[in-house]
Structure 1
Amino acid sequence: MNTESDEALASTERLVLREVRSHDLAVLERMWQDPVMRRYLGGPVPDEVVAERRVGDHTGSLMVTKRSGEIVGWCRLGRYRTGDLELSYAFLPEWWGRGYAREGCAAAVGLAFDRFPDATRLVAVTQEANRRSVHLLEALGMVRVDTFDEFGARQVMYAVDRPHSIDGETR
């Protein structure tokens, strides 16, 4: 019998990161269309795009749940247009301010280089006006490496390099 912990790709004291399942799509659709969550992402995704995403490839997508199974957010490890490994994330507003985003994203960062052994760095892009996201990326140890205008707003790219191993110790 599979349990939540059997399917975990990563876990923390409070959270579990697991692959996206078909029954998670309703929560993902909310994340794609919620105006509060999409404030810094260009607004709600149109219905036709939601329909495409519903049947799209969710490889690299991770649901972030409390140990009870209740979904608090989503992280994705995939490729950015530069070829770098990218962390994307969204957390439900009712869980904001409790440290779940930091904890869940830290667990995803911990998985990143194991799941993508050819990646030399991990990037994340956020709108500069999204101060909570900027603070989150800095709390994860990511460093600002670029700024640019896109989607009518100033964007900021953060990055962290693959940890180096010397004599079996990560540095």
Structure 2
Amino acid sequence: MMELADVAWPPEPIRTARLVLREPETRDRAVFVELLASPRVHTYLGGPGDRGELEQRLPEVPERWRGSFVAELDGTMIGHILLRRVPEHGRPAAAGKADLGYLFLPRVWGSGYAAEACAAALDWFESVRPGEPVVLTTQSANTASMRLAAKLGFTEVERFVAWDAEQWLGMRAPAAGRGHVRTVSA
């Protein structure tokens, strides 16, 4: 997904004040199914997947590729962070750039875990791809995601309509061009 062939993968687990970001493992499969089948998680993502189909379709270790991190709290997966390259045929303002995506279990919403995990993943990305901007797309109706994007330093590039809803595309400048969020790495 991401051109990180020259980057050691998986990286050492990334530790923040409360979380560990690590490579997905077999033990995370049930939480991936829960995330992907959740109507609440997928309110702004086109709707949930069918739990039965997900159970059959997902590999033993889902989402295992470069740029894919499990967010773990007290030894248990609570979310997923994904940094992937936007295809060259994507939105012109985002094409070829790194894209930040994230999903967290509803029971942990409002606790700041998504901000903490995303900031740590962005810091990691900055360390392996210094100077590269990152984009994030969300529905403009998703106020929580819009707040998180602002907190992480994303600024609006454009709005457009896709999937019958207004989408917001933001970009985060490299660390040299903005205030830097510090995380603690292992």
TM-score, normalised by the number of residues in structure 1: 0.82
Larger % of strand: which?
Answer: 1
**1:38-117 paired onto structure 2 within 5 Å:** 38-46=42-50, 48=53, 51-54=56-59, 58-59=64-65, 60-66=67-73, 68-81=74-87, 82-115=95-128, 117=129
Tell whether the 8 Å contact from 2:85 to 2:98 is kept in structure 1 after alignment. yes
| Higher RCO structure, 1 or 2 (CA under 8 Å, sep 6+) | 2
Q: Which one-letter code corresponds to 2:134 in the other structure? A: L
Q: Number of residues paired by the alignment?
A: 158
Which position in structure 1 is the counterpart of 2:7? none
For 1:17 and 1:50, the matched residues in 2 are separated by 24
For 2:77 and 2:167, the matched residues in 1 are separated by 28
Q: CA deviation at 1:15?
A: 0.7
TM-score, normalised by the number of residues in structure 2: 0.76
Query: 5+ unaligned residues in a row in structure 2: which ranges?
Result: 1-10, 88-94, 181-186
Of 33, 36, 40 in structure 2, the residue corresponding to residue 29 of structure 1 is 33
* Displaced runs of 4 or more, over 6 A: none
RMSD: 2.3
Q: CA deviation at 1:58?
A: 2.2
For 1:71 and 1:57, the matched residues in 2 are separated by 13
Q: Deviations over 1:12-39 (max 9, x none)?
A: 1111100111221111111111111110
Q: CA deviation at 1:45?
A: 1.9
SS in 1 for 2:82: strand
